């Protein structure tokens, strides 16, 4: 009996012990990660980087990734968090120096140690070679377009003939070759020809010298400064609008030969009877380092406008570091707004032969060797017409020589209003003057001054030669506060002048000239 009881006890113990053992834990089994490479072939230029994205599914939980590359190098940019079951793995691939097929292999390992790989194909291309510059010389006798994908070189005079339109794309760079006298380079739009050169604030059309190291697609080189002038000629536009001119005997002439073009070249003629003449459009144009020598004391202007009619559109123009004048008007009726001349060796804005258009929202910025910010001449024949200057800022060079605010000469005719001038030299210079003398007599109102504000240098005190508002006989006074047309202001408190924000795109602004 005892034996039977003992066996039952042992069996019960064994049964109880077996009943207390835990069930074994079985870990789930997940598939290896799956990777999806980009659906299209990626491209990278030699030496440049591109991001490559792989989509990853890791049911077993993301753990790590590894990269290998041919034709370049790869660095991981981002990856899913540890344990994530899906996400993107991104690598930055930097192409090597050799063009051709390249590859990027991604290997992803999950938390269970399972791995999968996928390959992305990359096309490495060579850095594009710039097309050869286009050389231009002589007459353009049929319509053509100058494109921004290559340099355009002016060799000697390049002339747009009557009935022909030259189109210049935004961002195009035109370089003038060196030369003096009859060999000076220039682009000349003749009477009846048109230029449609429309740049943008971010892609202006640039006229500069062949010595400029400016690169295609950029807006400025690094090797030329405001000291570099006279390296090529300039841009000349000629139209059929009225001019006031006469011959050597004082007899009126309808047309004349523009300065900067030798008399034996017939395409230098300008002037006529069509004040609405259309020579095209100039917009966002920067003209730099020009003004090559024609003869003793005679250079080409940055932008010369001879008899240009009101059908022409000119705005957002910059002329910088020119050996002669910045912009000169010979008669004509074209309007110009947001025009800047900077660090010219002679005058900033020069008006001749009864120019009858308007210059508005414009700036003349003097350099160390500049003469007048404004030089205004009157008619040279019997035709009399008046210009308008409105919203003009004149910035002196702060020196002690030259750099006068304005010189009105030869019975100048026109309205001058909302003009702000500052930083001109101390008293004895920096004048607004009438070169023909204080006893010159004009009809009332033919030359008017309204709302001028001038900030004087400390050395000026309140003494500056300035004309009052004129009616009849002109006189000069030495106290601006005595003129109804002129107010002395503190720099920064002015209420007139140009809107300078309109010149933020210029070389002058980028190089800190103002």
CA 224/CA 466 separation, integer angstroms: 37
Could you tell me which residues come within 8 angstroms of residue 379 by beta carbon, excluding any fewer than 6 positions away? 244, 353, 354, 385, 410, 411, 413
Cα–Cα distance between 151 and 290 in angstroms, integer? 17
What is the tens place of the pLDDT at every residue in 158-200? 999 999 999 999 999 999 999 887 788 999 999 999 999 999 9
Phi, then psi, of 206 in degrees rounded to 5: -115, 125
Q: How far is CA 310 from the centre of its chain?
A: 25
State pLDDT tens for residues 267-316: 899 999 999 999 999 999 999 999 997 766 568 999 999 999 999 999 99
User: For position 477, what pLDDT does the model report?
Assistant: 35
Q: What are 407's strand-pairing partners? A: 375, 433
Query: Within its chain, how far is the Cα of 345 from the centroid?
Result: 22
3-state secondary structure of 146: strand
The angle formed by the CA atoms of residues 489, 362 and 381, to the nearest 5 degrees, is 110
CA distances from 104 to 51, 63, 91, 126, 132 (A): 11, 20, 9, 19, 36
Residue reference for tokens 């491209």 = 43
Of 91 and 433, which is predicted with more confidence?
Answer: 91
Q: What residues form DSSP beta bridges with 43?
A: 123
Residue 467 and residue 456 in contact, taking contact as beta carbons nearer than 8 Å: no
Least confident among 80-89, 145-154, 402-411: 402-411
Residue 302 to residues 10, 327, 479, 489, Cα–Cα distance (Å): 117, 6, 35, 32
Per-residue pLDDT tens digits for 101-134 = 999 999 999 999 999 999 999 999 998 777 899 9
- Cβ contact 351:376 at 8 Å: yes
> What's the rounded mean pLDDT across residues 149-164?
96
Query: Residue 123: is it exposed, middle or buried by C-beta count within 10 angstroms (0-12/13-18/19+)?
Result: middle
pLDDT digits (tens, 9 = 90+) for 436-453: 433 334 444 477 778 888
Q: What is the pLDDT of residue 290?
A: 96
Only one residue has tokens 């003209």, namely 287
In terms of Cα–Cα distance, which of 133, 148, 130 is closest to 202? Answer: 148
User: Residue 7: CB partners within 8 Å, gap ≥ 6?
Assistant: none
Pick from 130, 148, 151, 146: which is nearest to 212 by CA?
151
- 510's enclosing H/E stretch is helix 507-510
Q: What is the pLDDT of residue 5?
A: 45
Tokens describing residue 183 = 């060999």
Q: Tell me the sheet residues that pair with 388.
A: 358, 415
Give buried/exposed letters for 36-58 (b at 16+ CB in 10 A, else e): ebbeeebebebeeebebebebbb
**What stretches of 292-381 adopt beta strand conformation (E)?**
293-295, 298-299, 303-306, 313-320, 327-330, 336-342, 349-352, 358-365, 372-377
Mode of pairing for the β-strands spanning 298-299 and 34-36? unpaired
Query: pTM for this one?
Result: 0.76
**What integer best gives the mean pLDDT of the chain?**
87
504 vs 294: which has the higher pLDDT: 504
């Amino acid at each position: 009996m005892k034996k039977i009881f003992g066996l039952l006890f042992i069996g019960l113990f064994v049964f109880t012990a077996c009943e207390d053992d835990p069930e074994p834990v079985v870990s789930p089994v997940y598939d290896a990660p799956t990777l999806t490479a980009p659906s299209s072939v990626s491209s990278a230029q030699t030496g440049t980087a591109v991001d490559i994205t792989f989509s990853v599914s890791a049911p077993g939980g993301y753990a790590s990734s590894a990269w290998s590359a041919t034709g370049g190098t790869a660095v991981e940019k981002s990856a899913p968090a540890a344990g994530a079951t899906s996400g993107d793995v991104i690598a930055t691939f930097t192409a090597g120096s050799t063009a051709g097929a390249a590859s990027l292999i991604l290997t992803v390992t999950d938390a269970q140690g399972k791995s999968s790989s996928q390959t992305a194909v990359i096309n490495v291309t060579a850095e594009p070679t710039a097309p050869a510059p286009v050389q231009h010389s002589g007459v353009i006798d049929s319509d053509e377009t100058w494109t921004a994908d290559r340099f355009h070189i002016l060799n000697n005079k390049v002339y747009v003939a009557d009935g022909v339109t030259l189109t210049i794309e935004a961002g195009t760079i035109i370089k003038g070759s060196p030369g003096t006298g009859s060999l000076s380079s220039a682009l000349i739009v003749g009477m009846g020809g048109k230029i449609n050169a429309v740049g943008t604030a971010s892609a202006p059309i640039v006229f500069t010298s062949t010595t400029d190291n400016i690169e295609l697609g950029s807006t400025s080189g690094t090797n030329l400064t405001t000291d570099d002038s006279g390296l090529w000629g300039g841009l000349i536009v000629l139209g059929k609008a009225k001019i006031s001119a006469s011959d050597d005997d004082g007899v009126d002439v309808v047309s004349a030969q523009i300065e900067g073009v030798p008399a034996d070249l017939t395409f230098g003629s300008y002037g006529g009877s069509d004040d609405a003449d259309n020579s095209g459009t100039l917009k966002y144009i920067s003209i730099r380092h020009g003004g090559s020598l024609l003869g003793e004391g005679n250079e080409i202007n940055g932008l010369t406008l001879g008899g240009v009619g009101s059908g022409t559109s000119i705005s957002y123009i910059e002329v910088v570091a020119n050996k002669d004048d910045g912009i000169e008007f010979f008669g004509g009726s074209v309007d110009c707004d947001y025009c800047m001349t900077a660090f010219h060796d002679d005058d900033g804005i020069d008006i001749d032969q009864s120019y009858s258009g308007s210059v508005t929202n414009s700036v003349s910025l003097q350099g160390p060797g500049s003469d007048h910010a404004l030089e205004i001449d009157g008619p040279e024949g019997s035709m009399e017409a008046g210009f308008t200057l409105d919203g003009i800022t004149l910035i002196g060079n702060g020196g002690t020589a030259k750099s006068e605010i304005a010189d009105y000469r030869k019975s100048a005719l026109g309205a001058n209003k909302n003009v702000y001038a500052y930083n001109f030299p101390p008293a004895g210079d920096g004048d607004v003057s009438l070169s023909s003398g204080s006893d010159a007599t004009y009809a009332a109102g033919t030359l008017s001054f309204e709302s001028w504000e001038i900030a004087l240098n400390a050395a000026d005190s309140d003494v500056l030669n300035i004309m009052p508002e004129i009616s009849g006989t002109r006189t000069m006074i030495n106290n601006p506060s005595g003129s109804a047309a002129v107010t002395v202001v503190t720099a920064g408190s002015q209420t007139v002048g140009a809107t300078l924000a309109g010149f933020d795109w210029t070389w002058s602004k980028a190089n800190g000239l103002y």
